Structure 1
């Protein structure tokens, strides 16, 4: 079992924690208005991780909060059929959160519209969940920075569950997803995230997210070079500073995706055991969808550490998985282990 996992003898479930969302995808030209068809996908950053892990035969569980109605029952049944343990899902007042994303676009600017106020997950309060019960049989807990961005109560719930997981010696990972259209409740990421990161064993994101959320500075003229070597040097520096500031952290991963017109360039890096590993570079002229590649990379990291792969192999597998996700028309990957290994450069 990987040194990143504290529970060496009896590795348990990977529990992903976050809000389930329905992604609604209008086309950019507005044809959905005449065809009366509006494609949708069941997603959410943490559910995407849970889905990938279940597909890859890692024991995967998912915690979210849903309204107790027939629509939720259908969704939960679909997740269970994918091999995800849904037994810890909590049912509360509210609705299922939505977001609208123009087809083919990423989670930036006007292409993204959130509609998740007063969702069942957003209405969750501290002191409601019995975390000792939820965390039974769990050896790894995963969440993202999207959760504490929702509101002050959810930020408090995040702290509550991280404290409970830490007491149980559970490995904790975080994806430093930054969503500028969240964080609207009077707190900045810098006021919330450092307190949560101190519980984390694995931190994944990019150098700009670390600057935004953890106040770890990025060289201001880094984009002027456009050189992979400069970006990787910055990733190493950021990784070392995260580990210095947060002693519990044992690994830091960084992703780099550059979109130039239709051209996509993608590579990543992993720093662990005082060693820095960078991946192969992946390039494509055209892709299918930009949603979920980072979640797939996160799942790839967890898969690799859970299966005690070597760090260089972990970063190559996770990168190939993330790149392949760019050609999947869904929030979560449908690529098998064999397909990902075949795609590895």
Structure 2
């Protein structure tokens, strides 16, 4: 197997506290982030050959960010240098990226200024066997969406496995197109599509039966996951695997479980229930990385799903965008929470 290449925008997450104490204390925490970078660093931590492709300005800040990635054993050889700024986003601690409180500051970034016809895909895909991207990339603007399609065509021509995370960010889709007008054309190239039943409806036009899941009970949600997965497989024949995550806040705590549809069967993970969590950012990225890790290492579908789910669950207790959990720690989590 070759390396796994993740493609997306490297971001800095700025974390002002909700009460404005950062102004008085002159202390504003930040984290290196970006959905695809989180996948790349997780895979490298788990000893999967991992590379990351993005665009950054040619300045000292980018040099430091690249050094950060290299220290995490992520290959950065094909990064494009252009423009003058790194993308930012602001999110108070503990909040979800789907929360209305998120503020994006990404217009005019080096990544946002990518254009089709300017990238040497032969160099980018040299030695690559798996290509990962998320729906956040084509949400930036039409040019980046076109670059995504160009990348997918190039990867497909080289028989590279392709995975897609259906991250929906309503505040990013502002250039005149809804996600459902863009994402199906990209999803047709993908072998593995991950998200949830709501994202599949919003971004791919997959049917959502609100009456079926009105009570949000697990049995109905799993039944809907089966129907959603079957429809995705029907709409996009190249897709052989569909994964769904479910995380809900109940009175008794937070419940988390996932599914994987493969070879016509729906596999369900064990369920995790806890009173509280620390940081919601990056959990889905960790789940995606866990799926890639499992398939890359030829684990069984059930083993792959349990590893990915445990990895994502552990990320909920790590205060950063990227995971720091080792393979051994993730496996211990699976055992300790098993019923």
Per the TM superposition, whether the score is higher than 0.5 is yes
The equivalent position to 2:256 in structure 1, one of 254, 266, 279, is: 266
CA contact (8 A) 1:262 1:286 kept: no
Question: Which digits, 9 at most, give the CA deviation of each residue in 1:57-104, with x for residues without a partner?
Answer: 000000010000001001101110110001111101131000000111
* Offset, 1:260: 3.4
* Offset, 1:253: 0.2
CA contact (8 A) 1:15 1:61 kept: yes
Q: State the secondary structure of the residue aligned to 1:312.
A: helix
Residue equivalent to 1:4 = none
Residue equivalent to 2:57 = 67
* Offset, 1:223: 4.1
Aligned residues: 335
Structure 2 matches for 1:1-345, cutoff 5 A? 11-260=1-250, 263-344=253-334, 345=338
Return the alpha-carbon distance in structure 1 between the equivalents of residues 83 and 118 of structure 2: 13
- My pick for the range that moved more, 212-221 or 12-21, is 212-221
How high is the TM-score relative to the length of structure 2?
Answer: 0.97
Return the alpha-carbon distance in structure 1 between the equivalents of residues 296 and 173 of structure 2: 32
CA contact (8 A) 1:141 1:171 kept: yes
Question: Which digits, 9 at most, give the CA deviation of each residue in 1:265-316, with x for residues without a partner?
Answer: 1000001111210001101111110100000000000000001111111111
Question: Which digits, 9 at most, give the CA deviation of each residue in 1:214-250, with x for residues without a partner?
Answer: 1111112244222111101100101011111111101
Q: State the secondary structure of the residue aligned to 1:109.
A: coil
* Offset, 1:262: 8.3
CA contact (8 A) 1:94 1:123 kept: no
CA contact (8 A) 1:289 1:327 kept: yes
- My pick for the range that moved more, 255-264 or 84-93, is 255-264
Return the alpha-carbon distance in structure 2 between the equivalents of residues 264 and 316 of structure 1: 18
How high is the TM-score relative to the length of structure 1?
Answer: 0.96
Q: Which runs of 5 or more residues in structure 1 are unaligned?
A: 1-10
Question: Which digits, 9 at most, give the CA deviation of each residue in 1:164-213, with x for residues without a partner?
Answer: 00000000000000000011000111111010000000000000000001
Q: Which runs of 5 or more residues in structure 2 are unaligned?
A: none
Aligned structure 1 segments of 4 or more residues deviating by more than 4 angstroms: none
CA contact (8 A) 2:58 2:84 kept: no
